A and B are shown apart, each in its own frame.
Chain A
Amino acid sequence: MLVALTIATAVAALALAAWCGFAAYRDQPTKDWHFIGMGVVTLLALVQLVVGIVQLARGEDPEQGTTIFVAYLLGSFACVPVAGFMSLAERTRWGSLTVAAGGVVLAVLQVRLYDIWGG
Protein backbone atom coordinates (compact mmCIF):
# COMPACT_ATOMS: atom_id res chain seq x y z
CA MET A 1 0.00 0.00 0.00
CA LEU A 2 2.66 2.46 1.07
CA VAL A 3 4.97 1.49 -1.77
CA ALA A 4 2.19 1.90 -4.35
CA LEU A 5 1.40 5.34 -2.92
CA THR A 6 5.06 6.29 -2.97
CA ILE A 7 5.33 5.43 -6.65
CA ALA A 8 2.06 7.22 -7.47
CA THR A 9 3.16 10.36 -5.61
CA ALA A 10 6.57 10.35 -7.29
CA VAL A 11 5.02 10.00 -10.76
CA ALA A 12 2.44 12.72 -10.04
CA ALA A 13 5.18 15.00 -8.69
CA LEU A 14 7.27 14.54 -11.83
CA ALA A 15 4.22 15.20 -14.01
CA LEU A 16 3.57 18.40 -12.07
CA ALA A 17 7.22 19.37 -12.48
CA ALA A 18 7.03 18.82 -16.24
CA TRP A 19 3.76 20.73 -16.51
CA CYS A 20 4.98 23.75 -14.54
CA GLY A 21 8.35 23.55 -16.27
CA PHE A 22 6.46 23.81 -19.58
CA ALA A 23 4.58 26.86 -18.26
CA ALA A 24 7.92 28.43 -17.33
CA TYR A 25 9.26 27.61 -20.78
CA ARG A 26 6.28 29.41 -22.31
CA ASP A 27 6.91 32.36 -20.00
CA GLN A 28 3.68 31.91 -18.04
CA PRO A 29 2.92 32.19 -14.33
CA THR A 30 1.11 29.37 -12.51
CA LYS A 31 -2.62 29.36 -13.26
CA ASP A 32 -5.70 27.87 -11.60
CA TRP A 33 -5.20 24.54 -13.34
CA HIS A 34 -1.67 24.31 -12.02
CA PHE A 35 -2.96 24.91 -8.51
CA ILE A 36 -5.50 22.11 -8.96
CA GLY A 37 -2.59 19.91 -10.03
CA MET A 38 -0.64 20.93 -6.95
CA GLY A 39 -3.73 20.12 -4.89
CA VAL A 40 -3.88 16.61 -6.33
CA VAL A 41 -0.19 15.99 -5.63
CA THR A 42 -0.52 17.40 -2.11
CA LEU A 43 -3.57 15.20 -1.51
CA LEU A 44 -1.53 12.13 -2.50
CA ALA A 45 1.21 13.20 -0.09
CA LEU A 46 -1.38 13.71 2.65
CA VAL A 47 -2.87 10.24 2.08
CA GLN A 48 0.66 8.88 2.19
CA LEU A 49 1.29 10.67 5.49
CA VAL A 50 -1.88 9.18 7.00
CA VAL A 51 -1.19 5.68 5.66
CA GLY A 52 2.40 5.89 6.88
CA ILE A 53 1.30 6.83 10.40
CA VAL A 54 -1.33 4.07 10.41
CA GLN A 55 1.34 1.55 9.39
CA LEU A 56 3.54 2.78 12.25
CA ALA A 57 0.62 2.51 14.69
CA ARG A 58 0.07 -1.06 13.60
CA GLY A 59 3.60 -1.80 14.75
CA GLU A 60 5.39 -1.97 11.43
CA ASP A 61 8.90 -0.55 11.54
CA PRO A 62 10.63 1.44 8.84
CA GLU A 63 14.06 0.05 8.07
CA GLN A 64 15.98 3.26 8.76
CA GLY A 65 14.14 4.50 11.82
CA THR A 66 10.79 6.02 12.72
CA THR A 67 11.97 9.60 13.28
CA ILE A 68 13.51 9.91 9.83
CA PHE A 69 10.47 8.25 8.25
CA VAL A 70 8.02 10.69 9.85
CA ALA A 71 10.30 13.66 9.04
CA TYR A 72 10.32 12.69 5.37
CA LEU A 73 6.55 12.13 5.34
CA LEU A 74 6.01 15.63 6.76
CA GLY A 75 8.55 17.09 4.36
CA SER A 76 6.82 15.54 1.35
CA PHE A 77 3.47 16.84 2.53
CA ALA A 78 4.74 20.42 2.95
CA CYS A 79 6.92 20.51 -0.16
CA VAL A 80 4.49 21.35 -2.97
CA PRO A 81 2.16 23.70 -1.01
CA VAL A 82 5.12 25.85 0.05
CA ALA A 83 6.36 26.08 -3.54
CA GLY A 84 2.78 26.89 -4.59
CA PHE A 85 2.56 29.81 -2.16
CA MET A 86 5.87 31.11 -3.40
CA SER A 87 4.57 31.03 -6.96
CA LEU A 88 1.64 33.18 -5.78
CA ALA A 89 4.14 35.78 -4.60
CA GLU A 90 6.05 35.67 -7.89
CA ARG A 91 3.60 35.90 -10.79
CA THR A 92 6.13 35.25 -13.54
CA ARG A 93 7.74 32.24 -15.21
CA TRP A 94 10.08 32.03 -12.22
CA GLY A 95 7.16 31.19 -9.97
CA SER A 96 6.28 28.31 -12.31
CA LEU A 97 9.88 27.15 -12.29
CA THR A 98 9.85 27.17 -8.49
CA VAL A 99 6.84 24.83 -8.47
CA ALA A 100 8.61 22.65 -11.04
CA ALA A 101 11.61 22.49 -8.70
CA GLY A 102 9.21 21.63 -5.88
CA GLY A 103 7.91 18.68 -7.92
CA VAL A 104 11.44 17.40 -8.52
CA VAL A 105 12.30 17.75 -4.82
CA LEU A 106 9.15 15.81 -3.91
CA ALA A 107 10.07 13.02 -6.34
CA VAL A 108 13.51 12.79 -4.73
CA LEU A 109 11.90 12.67 -1.29
CA GLN A 110 9.76 9.77 -2.50
CA VAL A 111 12.81 7.82 -3.61
CA ARG A 112 14.33 8.39 -0.17
CA LEU A 113 11.05 7.40 1.52
CA TYR A 114 11.08 4.15 -0.42
CA ASP A 115 14.61 3.43 0.86
CA ILE A 116 13.75 4.44 4.42
CA TRP A 117 10.69 2.21 4.52
CA GLY A 118 12.75 -0.64 3.17
CA GLY A 119 11.17 -1.31 -0.22
Chain B
Amino acid sequence: MTDTKKSAPAGGRQKLITGPGILLLWLYGVMVVGAVSRSAVQISTDFDKAPLAYSLSALAGLVYGFITYSLVRGGDTARKAALVCCAAELVGVLAVGTWTLAEPSAFPDATVWSDFGMGYLFIPVILPVTAIFWLVRARRTGR
Protein backbone atom coordinates (compact mmCIF):
# COMPACT_ATOMS: atom_id res chain seq x y z
CA MET B 1 0.00 0.00 0.00
CA THR B 2 1.42 3.38 -0.96
CA ASP B 3 1.39 5.91 1.79
CA THR B 4 -0.65 8.79 0.42
CA LYS B 5 -2.38 10.74 3.12
CA LYS B 6 -5.86 12.17 3.10
CA SER B 7 -4.94 15.60 1.72
CA ALA B 8 -2.57 14.39 -0.94
CA PRO B 9 0.91 15.92 -0.76
CA ALA B 10 2.42 17.27 -3.97
CA GLY B 11 2.95 14.42 -6.42
CA GLY B 12 0.89 11.91 -4.43
CA ARG B 13 -2.45 10.76 -5.76
CA GLN B 14 -5.52 11.97 -3.99
CA LYS B 15 -7.05 9.11 -2.05
CA LEU B 16 -10.65 8.28 -2.77
CA ILE B 17 -11.12 5.50 -0.24
CA THR B 18 -10.79 7.35 3.03
CA GLY B 19 -13.78 7.88 5.29
CA PRO B 20 -17.09 7.14 3.57
CA GLY B 21 -15.12 6.12 0.50
CA ILE B 22 -14.21 2.81 2.16
CA LEU B 23 -17.90 1.94 2.51
CA LEU B 24 -18.47 2.78 -1.17
CA LEU B 25 -15.49 0.62 -2.10
CA TRP B 26 -16.94 -2.29 -0.14
CA LEU B 27 -20.40 -1.98 -1.70
CA TYR B 28 -18.94 -1.67 -5.19
CA GLY B 29 -16.76 -4.69 -4.50
CA VAL B 30 -19.83 -6.68 -3.48
CA MET B 31 -21.65 -5.59 -6.64
CA VAL B 32 -18.67 -6.58 -8.80
CA VAL B 33 -18.63 -10.07 -7.32
CA GLY B 34 -22.41 -10.31 -7.55
CA ALA B 35 -22.80 -9.09 -11.12
CA VAL B 36 -19.71 -10.75 -12.59
CA SER B 37 -20.24 -14.17 -11.01
CA ARG B 38 -23.93 -14.11 -11.76
CA SER B 39 -23.46 -13.27 -15.43
CA ALA B 40 -20.57 -15.73 -15.73
CA VAL B 41 -22.77 -18.58 -14.48
CA GLN B 42 -25.75 -17.55 -16.57
CA ILE B 43 -23.84 -16.93 -19.79
CA SER B 44 -21.90 -20.19 -19.53
CA THR B 45 -24.92 -22.33 -18.66
CA ASP B 46 -27.95 -21.05 -20.53
CA PHE B 47 -27.15 -17.95 -22.52
CA ASP B 48 -29.96 -18.60 -25.02
CA LYS B 49 -32.65 -18.26 -22.39
CA ALA B 50 -32.24 -14.52 -21.94
CA PRO B 51 -29.25 -13.20 -23.93
CA LEU B 52 -30.16 -9.55 -23.42
CA ALA B 53 -30.57 -9.82 -19.66
CA TYR B 54 -27.35 -11.79 -19.19
CA SER B 55 -25.32 -9.45 -21.42
CA LEU B 56 -26.60 -6.47 -19.46
CA SER B 57 -25.57 -8.13 -16.20
CA ALA B 58 -22.09 -8.71 -17.61
CA LEU B 59 -21.89 -5.09 -18.75
CA ALA B 60 -22.99 -3.92 -15.31
CA GLY B 61 -20.26 -6.09 -13.79
CA LEU B 62 -17.64 -4.45 -16.03
CA VAL B 63 -18.80 -0.96 -15.11
CA TYR B 64 -18.73 -1.83 -11.40
CA GLY B 65 -15.28 -3.34 -11.81
CA PHE B 66 -13.96 -0.19 -13.44
CA ILE B 67 -15.41 2.08 -10.75
CA THR B 68 -13.95 -0.12 -8.01
CA TYR B 69 -10.53 0.01 -9.67
CA SER B 70 -10.77 3.82 -10.02
CA LEU B 71 -11.65 4.22 -6.34
CA VAL B 72 -8.66 2.13 -5.29
CA ARG B 73 -6.33 3.94 -7.68
CA GLY B 74 -7.32 7.45 -6.63
CA GLY B 75 -6.15 10.68 -8.20
CA ASP B 76 -8.00 13.20 -10.26
CA THR B 77 -8.10 11.31 -13.57
CA ALA B 78 -9.49 8.21 -11.89
CA ARG B 79 -11.98 10.36 -10.03
CA LYS B 80 -13.27 11.86 -13.26
CA ALA B 81 -13.40 8.48 -14.99
CA ALA B 82 -15.31 7.04 -12.04
CA LEU B 83 -17.69 9.98 -12.17
CA VAL B 84 -18.47 9.30 -15.83
CA CYS B 85 -19.00 5.61 -15.08
CA CYS B 86 -21.28 6.37 -12.13
CA ALA B 87 -23.37 8.58 -14.40
CA ALA B 88 -23.48 5.79 -17.00
CA GLU B 89 -24.40 3.35 -14.24
CA LEU B 90 -27.22 5.56 -13.04
CA VAL B 91 -28.55 5.95 -16.58
CA GLY B 92 -28.23 2.17 -17.01
CA VAL B 93 -30.15 1.37 -13.85
CA LEU B 94 -32.91 3.85 -14.65
CA ALA B 95 -33.19 2.77 -18.29
CA VAL B 96 -33.11 -0.96 -17.62
CA GLY B 97 -35.36 -0.55 -14.59
CA THR B 98 -37.97 1.26 -16.62
CA TRP B 99 -37.51 -1.13 -19.53
CA THR B 100 -38.10 -4.22 -17.35
CA LEU B 101 -41.27 -2.69 -15.95
CA ALA B 102 -42.56 -1.47 -19.32
CA GLU B 103 -41.82 -4.59 -21.30
CA PRO B 104 -41.21 -7.63 -19.08
CA SER B 105 -41.33 -9.96 -22.10
CA ALA B 106 -37.91 -8.71 -23.25
CA PHE B 107 -36.45 -10.12 -20.03
CA PRO B 108 -37.31 -13.77 -19.42
CA ASP B 109 -34.80 -13.70 -16.57
CA ALA B 110 -33.75 -10.90 -14.23
CA THR B 111 -30.65 -8.73 -14.58
CA VAL B 112 -28.79 -6.95 -11.80
CA TRP B 113 -30.59 -3.80 -12.87
CA SER B 114 -34.12 -5.23 -13.19
CA ASP B 115 -36.83 -3.25 -11.40
CA PHE B 116 -34.22 -0.65 -10.40
CA GLY B 117 -32.16 -3.28 -8.61
CA MET B 118 -34.92 -4.44 -6.29
CA GLY B 119 -33.37 -7.91 -5.99
CA TYR B 120 -30.25 -6.25 -4.62
CA LEU B 121 -32.02 -4.13 -1.99
CA PHE B 122 -32.04 -1.18 -4.42
CA ILE B 123 -28.29 -0.85 -3.91
CA PRO B 124 -27.73 -0.51 -7.69
CA VAL B 125 -29.79 2.68 -7.79
CA ILE B 126 -28.67 4.16 -4.45
CA LEU B 127 -24.97 3.50 -5.02
CA PRO B 128 -24.31 5.67 -8.09
CA VAL B 129 -26.10 8.64 -6.53
CA THR B 130 -24.05 8.33 -3.33
CA ALA B 131 -20.86 7.80 -5.31
CA ILE B 132 -21.45 10.89 -7.45
CA PHE B 133 -21.93 12.98 -4.30
CA TRP B 134 -18.74 11.56 -2.84
CA LEU B 135 -16.65 12.03 -5.96
CA VAL B 136 -17.82 15.61 -6.50
CA ARG B 137 -17.14 16.42 -2.86
CA ALA B 138 -13.67 14.86 -3.13
CA ARG B 139 -12.81 17.43 -5.79
CA ARG B 140 -13.78 20.33 -3.54
CA THR B 141 -11.88 19.14 -0.49
CA GLY B 142 -9.05 17.39 -2.27
CA ARG B 143 -7.36 20.36 -3.90
Contact = CB atoms under 8 A, between A and B. Distances in A.
Interface of A: 65, 67-68, 71, 75, 82-83, 86-87, 89-90, 92, 94-95, 97-98, 101-102, 105, 108
Q: Chain A interface secondary structure, helix, strand, loop or mixed?
A: helix
Given A82-B26, A94-B19, 7 more contacts: A67-B41, A86-B25, A87-B22, A89-B1, A90-B18, A92-B19, A98-B22
Interface stretch (B29-37, B76-84, B90-98, B109-117): B29-37
Contacts, number: 39
A71 B37 contact: yes
Interface string B23-56: 1011101100100010001000100000000000
Contacts of B26: 82-83, 86, 98, 101-102
6 closest A-B pairs (Cβ-Cβ)?
A90-B22, A98-B26, A98-B23, A94-B19, A94-B22, A98-B22
Nearest to B22: A90
B16 to A, nearest CB: 12
- Counting contact residues on chain B (CB < 8 A from A), the size range is 10 to 19
B20 interface: yes
A105 B30 contact: yes
Contacts of B19: 90, 92, 94
B121 interface: yes
Nearest to B33: A75
Nearest to B29: A82
A102 B26 CA distance: 8
Nearest to B44: A67
B48 to A, nearest CB: 17
A16 B102 CA distance: 40
Contacts of A89: 1, 17, 22
B41 to A, nearest CB: 6
Nearest to B19: A94
B120 to A, nearest CB: 9
A75 B21 CA distance: 22
Contacts of B30: 105
B27 A101 contact: yes
A71 B121 contact: no
Best-buried of A65, A83, A90, A108 by chain B (most CB within 10 Å): A90
